[in-house]
Amino acid sequence: MSSEINCGKWISQERGNLFFMDFSDLPFVPQRAFYVSSVPPGEVRGEHAHHECEQMLVCVRGKIIVTLDTGQERTEHVLHAGETLFHGKLEWAELQYYDDAEMLSLCSTEYDAADYIAKYEDFLKEVNCHEK
């Protein structure tokens, strides 16, 4: 289940802005990270879920609208620069990018193509199996 764990903080100074992250509040130890940039305005990325991987999504720049779907409930979260969102396993995610947005994702697992659920229908079947 998603939650707004805030692991990042901006410090503004005359010399410039500093963004730092404290991983002590993360429910996992990051095993991998990836960065997304240069997404055309309004374009949607993500559109998948994971069997095991959990992620901390960090909006580095711009605005990202994150829609998370548990199979029972859809929630929408608007992230601006410096804001974070926890994205749990077995949550379908769609990320829409605006204002030259950039996103950093910290992941609980190493990359594994078999961990991805790429079709929404398959995701719903998987969620229903876990609920029974």
Residue among 99, 94, 44 nearest 68 (CA): 94
Q: Which of 78, 20, 36, 27 is nearest to 54 (CA)?
A: 27
Mean pLDDT score, 73-91: 94
Give the pLDDT confidence of 34-48 residue by residue, as tens digits: 999 999 999 999 999
- Note the pTM of the prediction, 2 decimals: 0.86
Instruction: Please give the domain boundaries of the chain with CATH numbers for all domains.
Output: 8-131 (2.60.120.10)
Mean pLDDT of the chain: 89
The pLDDT tens digits for 8-43 are: 667 777 888 777 777 777 889 899 999 999 999 999
- pLDDT tens for each residue of 85-129: 999 999 999 999 999 999 999 999 999 999 999 999 999 999 987
C-alpha distances out from residue 48 to 53, 87, 124, Å:
12, 12, 11
Residue positions counted in the chain: 132
The candidate with the shortest Cα–Cα distance to 96, out of 43, 60, 46, is 43
Strand partners, 66: 77, 95
